[in-house]
Amino acid sequence: MLNQLRLDHANMARMLHVLQLKQKKLEKGERPNFQLMREVVDYILAYMEDFTAPLERVFVERLKAKAPDQVSQVEDMLSDYRRLKPRLERLSADIDTVLMDMVLPMDRFAEDLKQYLAAHRSYLRQERENLFPLVEKHFDEDDIAALRQALPEGAEKELGRLQQAYPELYAKLKGADVPVV
């Protein structure tokens, strides 16, 4: 389970890197692939809703029993993570605006994207430096099993579905040529 969380962490970092490349294009005054950005944002939003939220509850419950002195710090971290979602939803709405050929100030959008990326990367750093060590130090096999149980039924199948739903993103992450549609 911890390996899966680390893999998810690495995949999220890759997603953020894709967005950062698009954000850099915006800063240069170039037009990035907004459809790919749409796929990344949709994927992250789906991941937040379907996978992260169920894990949070069980994680905090188990941590209260194992290391109650760490709960406040973790709850603060998780609160920071939850604040990412409305920011990402706003970026999603802005991408929709662009994809519908409506006017949107690109400098504001680029800055909002830059700020979101910085905040999400900060959370990933906290996760790596604080959350994972807590799991390693305090959680036993039963705790890990409880985390695994917290995932929605068919989580692996859902990840496969997301992969199929976002082929351009998948191709980009794998370094493959993206077919032109």
Tell me the average pLDDT across 132-148: 89
Residues 6+ apart with CB under 8 A from 46: 162
Write the pLDDT tens digit of every residue in 43-69: 899 888 888 877 888 888 899 999 999
Tell me the average pLDDT across 2-14: 80
Instruction: Find where tokens 């209260």 sit.
Output: 64
> Would the pLDDT of 149 be above 90?
no
> Would the pLDDT of 179 be above 50?
no
Sign of CA dihedral 86, 158, 52, 47: negative
Cβ pair 154, 77 in contact under 8 A: no
Q: How many CB atoms lie within 10 A of CB 157?
A: 10
In the 8-state DSSP scheme, what is residue 176? P
Confidence of residue 13 (pLDDT cuts 50, 70, 90): confident
- Collapsing DSSP states into helix, strand and coil, what is residue 181? coil
Percent of the chain with pLDDT strictly greater than 70: 83
Token representation of residue 112: 């909002």
Using CA atoms, how far residue 98 sits from 49, 68, 93, 171, in Å, is 24, 46, 9, 23
What's the CA gap between 97 and 120, in Å, rounded? 23
pLDDT value of residue 160: 65
Helices then strands, counting H and E runs in the chain, come out as 9, 0
